[in-house]
Amino acid sequence: MFKKVSVVIPCRNEENYISECITSVIDCDYPKEFLEVFVCDGMSTDNSVNIIKGFEDKYDFIKLLINKDKTTPYALNLGIKGSSSEIVIILGAHSVIYPDYISKCVNALSDDTSIGCVGGLIENVYENSKSEAIGLALSSSFGVGNVYFRTGTKDGYVDTVAFGAYKREVFDKIGYFDEHLIRNQDDEFNFRLTQSGYKILLKREIKSKYYVRSSFKKLFNQYFQYGLWKVFVNKKYKTITTLRQLFPALFVLFLFFGAILSILSKIIFCFYVLIFGLYIVLGLYMSISKGKNLMMVSRIFYTFLILHISYGIAYLIGIYRFLILNREPGMSDGKLNR
């Protein structure tokens, strides 16, 4: 017996990608009478709404919902609350799922009552050489640590996944996505999920594709906001949710104080050069192992620096603002930069 599945897709100004995303859901092997799709549009100013309406007019299981709040967590909750299914799958407008994505997610959730969420691997799709460099860095453990849905180095229980399939009972038990969190709302929700006793399963046979953005500036802004909002999540739960979040901040502190203290001591200077040199060697090694030419290698290494420094600086700013000054996030912190 098939279970009813809802697919929720937040969208804003994605006219170049939303059509392929929706089409991949339509082309999946799951029976359409057990499927409903909610595309939650955040007041797009491009042609996204017209594209979505075209699908809505053609397929009765596709619905357009207007996200007046224009934020991702509001869009997610809008779709989840509007659904009536046993399983909810979260997708991104830049994603394309494989035909068996939904059926494999449903089967995995049915295998074990302790599993609250299941997800798979992301395969990057590159639009140009710059986006390829960014994608290769994001799929490297040197770049993102143990984010297994990107690195593909683990099959089993994890702390988070992308484009997860959730049991309805999870939302009934722990609530919905925190609408105060413009960033990191999925990580925070998955932390609550595991704290409540559920498990998150990553299966490498479950696959989706993702169009990687090709802007270093947007990447910097994106990971800056990730670092900033991660501290706010830590404050909410009075704990550090993952150890990997600390390393970029420690790296930035090392760069700053190491440079200053090196002026005062030759021993500190030698230690500073040794550690920073080790970082460069490891970064270049990983860049060379993934890059196919000198330009690609340099761009991958540059992406590593963006990921670590932007996240690290923002994390330290977050500690100062949210923990020391005890402030709340401002309007500028919620500005979409992606």
Tens digits of residue pLDDT in 106-144:
999 988 889 999 999 999 999 899 999 999 999 998 988
Percent of the chain at pLDDT exceeding 90: 79
What confidence score (pLDDT) does residue 337 get?
Answer: 46
pLDDT at position 220 over 80? yes
For tokens 């595991």, what's the residue? 194
- Check residues 199 and 150 and name the one with the higher pLDDT: 199
What confidence score (pLDDT) does residue 299 get?
Answer: 96
Cβ 166 vs Cβ 115: under 8 Å: no
Which residue in 10, 21, 12, 14 sits closest to 76, CA to CA? 10
What's the whole-number average pLDDT of the chain?
A: 92
Cβ 161 vs Cβ 109: under 8 Å: no
pLDDT at position 188 over 80? yes
What confidence score (pLDDT) does residue 154 get?
Answer: 79
What confidence score (pLDDT) does residue 230 get?
Answer: 92
What confidence score (pLDDT) does residue 331 get?
Answer: 53
DSSP summary character for residue 2: P
Angle at 307 between CA 301 and CA 311, to 5 degrees: 150
Domain boundaries in the chain? 5-214, 232-334
2 backbone dihedrals φ, ψ, rounded to 5°: -75, 145
pTM for the whole thing? 0.89
How many Cα atoms occupy the beta-carbon half-sphere of 35 within 13 Å? 19
List of residues 6+ apart from 287 with CB closer than 8 A: 137, 297, 298, 300, 301, 304
pLDDT at position 338 over 50? no
pLDDT digits 0-9 by tens, 77-114: 999 999 989 999 999 999 999 999 999 999 999 888 89
What confidence score (pLDDT) does residue 24 get?
Answer: 97
Best CATH choice for the domain 5-214 from the list 3.40.50.300, 3.90.550.10, 3.20.20.10, 3.30.200.20: 3.90.550.10
pLDDT at position 201 over 90? yes
Cβ 102 vs Cβ 30: under 8 Å: yes
What confidence score (pLDDT) does residue 308 get?
Answer: 96
pLDDT at position 336 over 60? no
Q: How far apart are the C-alpha atoms of 294 and 4, rounded to whole Å?
A: 50
The pLDDT of 170-199, averaged and rounded, is 93
pLDDT digits 0-9 by tens, 54-64: 999 999 999 99
